[in-house]
Each structure stands twice: as C-alpha cells, then as structure tokens.
Amino acid sequence: MITNPTRQRTLRGHKAIRPTPRAANNADHQAALAGRLTPRDRWIIRMLHEHRVLTAHQITALAFPSFRSGRMRLRELFQWGVVDRFQPFITSGTAPMHYILAPAGAAVLAAEDGLDVKELGYRHDRAFGIAHSLRLAHTVGVAEWFTALVDRARHADPAGQTALGAWWSEARCARHFGDLVKPDAYGRWSSGGRDIEFFLEYDFSTEVLAKLAGKLAGYAVLAAATGITTPLLVWLPTSRREATARRLLVRAWRELDDPRSVPVATAAAELLDPEAPHPSPADEVWLPLDTAGGGVSARRELCRLLDAWPHVSPPSTGEGSDTAPGADLSLPLTAPAPAPMPPKPISRGPSTERR
C-alpha cells in the first residue's frame, strides 16, 4: 500500500534454496548419457512418453525395490535432464512428485527409434501441459489402477504366473481405435493360467453417466469390424454411482444389435478391502452386466470374468501379424522387475492381432 509501505527488513527472509543443478542438453551430454542410462532408465523414459505422467510412488512400485532407491535414481535422472517433475497443488498435505519426459530423455528415445525428436511428436511445453490439465487427476488415476495390478502380481505370485502383460495408454488407444471408440486404456492380465484382455473406462465422477453408456455402441461397431469380442471394464468410485451406471448401461447394452459382442463388467473402488495387504482391481469386485440380482456372491475376480462369458476367446499368445495395430510400435508393455533390470519387452498388441 502507498500509505503503508513495506519495510525493507520484512523482506529479509531465509536464503532461497539453491535449485538442483541440471546438465545442459547438448551433444556432449548425450554422449555421456550413453554410459549412464540403464535398461530400466530407458524403460522409464518410454513409459513416461507413453503415459505422459507418472508419480514417484508409481514409478517406484513399477520399477524399484524400494521408494528410497527409486527416489535417488529419479533425482539423478532429473539432474541429467532426462525427466522433469512438478508437484500439483492440493488443499491438504503434500502431493507426490509427478514426473514427465524431459528433452534429454526425448532425444534418447528418438535416437533409439531412429527418429528425430519432432518425428517423435515430443514438445517440452506440451509435455508440461499435463501439469495444468483438467484431466491430470484422471490420467494419474488410470496409472494408479494399473500400478495396483503390477503390485498385486509382484507380491501375490513371485514366480511370475500372475502378470500384467500389456498396458496401452489412452493416446495409443485413440490412434488405433479413435474413429470408433476412445477407451481410457487397454490391458491384458494373466493369473492362475487364465488370460483376459480388456478395454478400461475409468470413471472419475466427472463424466455424465449417460455419455458413458452411449459409448457401448462404438464398442459394438469395433467388435463387428474386427470380428473380435473384447470385454469392457467400467471402474467407478462408489457403489452408489456403480448402481446408477449399471441401470443406464443395461438399457444401452440391451439395445445393441448383438449385446454378446460387448461383454461389460463394473466395479467400485470402495469395494476393495483397505485392510488387505495389496488391494487391486484383480480382487473379487467385478460384476458382469448380464448378471441377475447383483449380490455380493455374484462378484468375480478379474481373471474369473471369462467364466461369465464362455463365448469370449482367450487372447492370442502368438506373435503379432503385419496387420496388428501395434506391429510398428516397440513399447515394452511388460512391467519391469524391481531389481535389477526389467524383463525383455514384448511385441504383442491387443485383441486385433488375432485377425
């Protein structure tokens, strides 16, 4: 205020914290990165490019044996300009650090694929745009959903019989199916000798449920065009919202020309047992849409959903064909082991590979 100017002494505060020094992204730095980046680091780079943003907790759960080791390595990657980070504002507590791809990481990824950074479709300002996007919470929520599956597989079955075999982002799904449907993700889950692939619609209580139900027509067209039946999983936050969604979904589902071509199951996040060691979407929380009643006894584990849909063929385990939608994409979709290195990438894509 002009009539009450701020005293100079009140401007004297603690010395500002010195920002973490970062390496310049030049040719010498790129050469140095060749001897610093491990296969796990390169896997993280690809995952950030695929999913746009992952939190420190998610990256740690996916790729490191402990949060401390993950935090230390992420700090190094940040200093080298391989990843960038930000903390969104929350009204209570402190948000986890969110990581995105940085220019040096994009340059490494482009060089590995024999592309220019522009051909990769990367721009630093666009990468940071997710920090201000109204879909940030939704994007992080979908990543948390799949991270919980990886965590479940790692602790429930160390032998490797339970695993998340594929995880496609919303952007990748849009590139392949966007003219018909735009699911939030595509996944493939293996457990107990059973494999199920699925599209995921992740409801964050921000979408009109009638619009969600209207998407079934697009999935029916996709099934008719490919001749492949792929289940649709709808994840909702509460049982009350799930009940409302099911009424609208059943109405839209019955109006399809061939409802059997779009198997649908719903689940609510609040059905997960918070006391369980590793609660995840693989638990007995799924209710097929055509199940009468809808009592607790009708709920199924994720790997048991195919019992309700005997007409659904299991996913193909063969190599992708030239017409597979992901034949030209080399993203390692298998989650890495916590130590010491991630497993080899797989080249299998979604159900359309079975054409």
Give the bridge partners for 268, in sequence order: 236
Are both 113 and 179 inside the same structural domain?
Answer: no
- Count of structural domains, the chain: 2
Q: Which class for 64: exposed (0-12), middle (13-18), buried (19 or more C-beta within 10 A)? A: buried
- pLDDT per position as a tens digit, 227-278: 999 999 999 999 999 999 999 999 999 999 999 999 999 999 999 998 888 8
Contact (Cβ atoms closer than 8 angstroms) between residue 73 and residue 79: no
Three-state secondary structure call for residue 195: strand
Residue 3 counted as domain residue: no
Which helix or strand (DSSP H or E) is residue 188 part of?
A: strand 185-191
Residue 172 counted as domain residue: yes
Share the mean pLDDT of the chain.
Answer: 84
- Counted residue by residue, the chain has a size of 355
Q: d(Cα 341, Cα 66) in Å, to the nearest integer?
A: 14
Which helix or strand (DSSP H or E) is residue 69 part of?
A: helix 67-79
Residue 161 counted as domain residue: yes
Last residue of a domain, one of 133, 168, 194: 133
- Residue 292's pLDDT band (boundaries 50, 70, 90)? low
- pLDDT per position as a tens digit, 298-351: 899 999 999 999 999 877 654 443 333 333 334 444 444 443 333 344 444 555
Residue 162: the pLDDT is 87
- Taking the alpha carbons at both ends of the chain, their separation in whole angstroms is 72
Are both 173 and 160 inside the same structural domain?
Answer: yes
Residue 179 counted as domain residue: yes
Domain extent for 285:
134-355
- pLDDT per position as a tens digit, 170-227: 999 999 998 899 999 999 999 988 899 999 999 988 889 999 999 999 999 999 999 9
- Residue 23's pLDDT band (boundaries 50, 70, 90)? confident
- Residue 7's pLDDT band (boundaries 50, 70, 90)? low
Helices (H) and strands (E) in the chain, counts: 12, 9
Residue 297: the pLDDT is 63
Q: Crossing angle of helices 67-79/39-51, nearest 10°?
A: 80
Q: d(Cα 349, Cα 57) in Å, to the nearest integer?
A: 27
Are both 246 and 328 inside the same structural domain?
Answer: yes
Residue 325: the pLDDT is 37
Q: Report phi then psi at 188, rounded to 5.
A: -135, 125
Residue 187 counted as domain residue: yes
Last residue of a domain, one of 87, 113, 133: 133
Are both 248 and 301 inside the same structural domain?
Answer: yes
Are both 79 and 150 inside the same structural domain?
Answer: no
Residue 318: the pLDDT is 47
Which helix or strand (DSSP H or E) is residue 100 part of?
A: strand 98-101
Higher pLDDT, 158 or 326: 158
Count other Cβ atoms within 10 Å, centred on residue 8: 7
Secondary structure letter of residue 286 according to DSSP: B
Are both 118 and 177 inside the same structural domain?
Answer: no
Residue 317: the pLDDT is 54
What CATH number did the domain enclosing 62 receive? 1.10.10.10
Residue 9 counted as domain residue: no
Residue 301 counted as domain residue: yes
Are both 154 and 112 inside the same structural domain?
Answer: no
Are both 91 and 239 inside the same structural domain?
Answer: no
Residue 113 counted as domain residue: yes
Higher pLDDT, 7 or 51: 51
Are both 150 and 127 inside the same structural domain?
Answer: no
Residue 69: the pLDDT is 93
Q: d(Cα 321, Cα 184) in Å, to the nearest integer?
A: 24
* Residue 8 CB contacts under 8 Å (≥ 6 apart), including other chains: none
**Helix-strand-coil split of the chain, %, nearest 5:** 40, 15, 45
Are both 54 and 176 inside the same structural domain?
Answer: no
Are both 254 and 329 inside the same structural domain?
Answer: yes
Are both 257 and 295 inside the same structural domain?
Answer: yes
Q: d(Cα 270, Cα 23) in Å, to the nearest integer?
A: 45
Residue 343: the pLDDT is 37
Last residue of a domain, one of 100, 133, 166: 133
Residue 27: the pLDDT is 87
